[in-house]
Amino acid sequence: MTSSMNFNNVKICDNFLEQEEFSKIFDYMNDTSYIFRQAAGVWNKVWNLSDGQILMGDELVWPFKKIPYFNDENRALSIFVQKINEEIENSGLFDISKITKITLTPYCWPPGTGLSWHNDSNYLGAFTFYCHNYWSPEWGGEFLTLEADEYIPLDKKQIKWKVFDNQQLYEFLLEKGTGNFFHSKPNRLILNKGGDKGILHKVAKTTLDSKPRLTLQGFIHTV
């Protein structure tokens, strides 16, 4: 890891893996079997109907600070898991005494896909690692948030989150009207707070001429 940016609610780590390690993760992403996320049969309503069809691989689960056994197909993840455990512990974003387990899922985001505004309230935190070899700033796919450095001091629980008409949320977002964005830079890790202090964030839609956006998406679980 050669550089990082620290905010109150978000941490950005660039060149998270050594180049050889990153190449192995890229190979893993290429070899992984994917299904459409909606194929699970239950609609997780944080995914808006207009977000597009996202592909996902098998979920991996391990107790925090442990390094699980990986078979030959998943061997490339061993170093990543070790480093992500260390980064979560040392980031200063989370109460590590509350962490029970980490879950990790490979995602392939085809052109024209994104994820609507949400706040990871069901988890202590989350992380995104970008696994594609190349990304253009013209392709979209940015991680957007209003609250990287300053949590909005309003009780977001008062917002009635709705699937088909989220105008109340949109008005809340526009009340501040500014925020931060982070490009989908290869070998970049983003950690963000969830739970009661979960920051509002979204994934901007990619353009129709973009390459697939490849991520390892993780969640930090608590009791």
Domain ranges of the chain: 3-104+132-140+186-195+206-218
**How many other CB atoms sit within 10 Å of the CB of residue 194?**
23
**Which tokens sit at 139?**
């392709």
Mean pLDDT over 164-181 rounds to 87
Tally of helices (H runs) and strands (E runs) in the chain: 3, 13
CB-based contact 144:214 (threshold 8 Å): no
Tell me the C-alpha to C-alpha distance, in Å, between residue 56 and each of 45, 65, 176, 214: 16, 25, 33, 10
The per-residue pLDDT for 98 is 94
**Residue 13 pLDDT > 70:** yes
Task: Give the tens place of pLDDT for each residue, 64-114.
Answer: 988 888 777 777 889 999 999 999 999 999 999 999 999 999 999 999 999
Cα 195 to the chain's mean position, in Å?
15
Classify burial at 211, counting beta carbons within 10 Å of its beta carbon; exposed 0-12, middle 13-18, buried 19 or more.
middle
CB-based contact 219:99 (threshold 8 Å): no
The per-residue pLDDT for 155 is 61
**How many other CB atoms sit within 10 Å of the CB of residue 168?**
12
**Residue 129 pLDDT > 60:** yes
pTM confidence score: 0.93
CB-based contact 187:13 (threshold 8 Å): no
